[in-house]
Structure 1
Amino acid sequence: MRNFILLFGFLSTQLALAQFGKNCEVRQIKINMFHPGLEYEMSLGVNSTLDARVAYQFSLDPFVAEPIENYKLFPAITLQNRYYYNFDRRATSGRQIYGNSANYIAPSASVFFAGDDFTGDDIPRSTFATAGLVTGIQRSYNSGLSFSVDVGAAYYLGEFNGGIYPVFNLSIGWIVSEKRWCVGR
């Protein structure tokens, strides 16, 4: 039992120390212009972050007969657990990693709320959600300008026949608050 406690203590210390020397920003807040809203990204580990976005976002309209051809702008909340896989390669080649400028893969979940639709068409009947996997790039500049693009596939859930459809997101905006802890350049 004593050896187990010592081993557990040693591994816990190693795990805690492994979180130092992060590549990711500790936290950053962005204002999005393309999808009007706010985005908060916080570091979870050496190369991973939790990204939360509250914004008006374009989405397929799953309530119509042909959802691929019908996009609408809905208020939404999106969560992504991003894993950035090329920080080291970018840093060693002299490229900037400020603002989590790297490529990522992420499980992604979104909830779209009914009732608001700026396209002038029929208002959707109820709230719906998506859950899937995306891959993307994020680039940030010293001026504070930041953009990210991700694509993937997600399962649409709600009061309709669910299905797997493509997911695409484009965010363009500015970093308004940050807590930096970048290694590299």
Structure 2
Amino acid sequence: MKKYVYLLLSLTTFLNLYSQDSPRVEKNQFKINLILPGVVYEHGFNDKNTLYSELSFGIGYSKSGFWGSTWSFYPTINEQFRHYYNLEKRAVKRKRTLGNSGNFYGLNAIYNFESINSNSDFSSSSPSFTVAPVWGFQRTYKHNFNLNLNGGVGYNIDKYNNEIVPVINFTIGWVIGK
């Protein structure tokens, strides 16, 4: 009887250790963001690549010597092609890979719509488009709590000028439906 109990415990341990033998990204993942309210859908194409699609609100700040400082609020669409490169290392170290918990690099495309400000103390902004290579990480913890941070240097195009800009995306939220 002891042999069967030992065999069962060994088999359970073995299965737990290798249950993430070949970790892969989630096929479909929905999230709600809290900092800048929005929704995210991340679609997994294969074991390591996803398309991250986010619709949220952005905040812009500009300072001018003559007019002072101004704020703008605008809807944003953020598309990222992500390649998760460290899922196997995380699985070997018995770290979580569920919910696309891993490090990634990718190509980011952001479209900022025209500002929705209605207060005359705030300036309006023109639509803009930014493309940037990014590096980042995403973690999904217990109770589907999600943290995402990525950044890079991009090229911004709007009707007034084109320029090199920093690109930073930080979200806190929850994965829905898991």
Query: Counterpart in 2 of 1:101?
Result: 101
User: In 2, distance between residues paired with 1:161 and 1:134?
Assistant: 22
Q: Find out whether 1:55 has 2:59 as its counterpart.
A: no
Query: Counterpart in 1 of 2:172?
Result: 172
User: In 2, distance between residues paired with 1:70 and 1:89?
Assistant: 45
**Residue 133 to residue 117, structure 1, CA distance change in 2 (3 Å):** farther
TM-score, normalisation: structure 2: 0.78
Q: Find out whether 1:40 has 2:50 as its counterpart.
A: no
Give the 3-state SS of the residue equivalent to 1:34 in structure 2.
Answer: coil
Give the 3-state SS of the residue equivalent to 1:89 in structure 2.
Answer: helix
Residues 140-155 of structure 1 mapped to structure 2, 5 A cutoff: 140-155=140-155
Superposed CA RMSD? 2.2
Aligned-partner residue type, residue 103 of structure 1: N
Give the 3-state SS of the residue equivalent to 1:121 in structure 2.
Answer: coil
User: In 1, distance between residues paired with 2:89 and 2:176?
Assistant: 27
Aligned-partner residue type, residue 147 of structure 2: F
Give the 3-state SS of the residue equivalent to 2:88 in structure 1.
Answer: helix
Query: Counterpart in 2 of 1:138?
Result: 138
Structure of greater relative contact order (alpha carbons < 8 Å, 6+ residues apart) = 1
More strand by share: 2
Query: Aligned-pair distance for 1:73?
Result: 3.4
Percent of residue pairs identical: 28
Query: Aligned-pair distance for 1:35?
Result: 1.4
User: In 2, distance between residues paired with 1:83 and 1:94?
Assistant: 21
**Residue 168 to residue 60, structure 1, CA distance change in 2 (3 Å):** farther
User: In 2, distance between residues paired with 1:170 and 1:70?
Assistant: 22
**Residue 97 to residue 70, structure 1, CA distance change in 2 (3 Å):** farther
Give the 3-state SS of the residue equivalent to 1:143 in structure 2.
Answer: helix
User: In 2, distance between residues paired with 1:95 and 1:118?
Assistant: 47
Query: Aligned-pair distance for 1:45?
Result: 1.3
Q: Residue 105 of structure 1 contacts residue 134 of structure 1 at CA under 8 Å; is this kept in 2?
A: yes
Query: Counterpart in 2 of 1:127?
Result: 127
In structure 1, runs of 5+ residues without a counterpart are 1-20, 179-185
- Asked which structure has the greater CA Rg, the reply is 2
**Residue 139 to residue 46, structure 1, CA distance change in 2 (3 Å):** same
Q: Deviations over 1:10-34 (max 9, x none)?
A: xxxxxxxxxxx66100111000001
Query: Aligned-pair distance for 1:177?
Result: 2.3
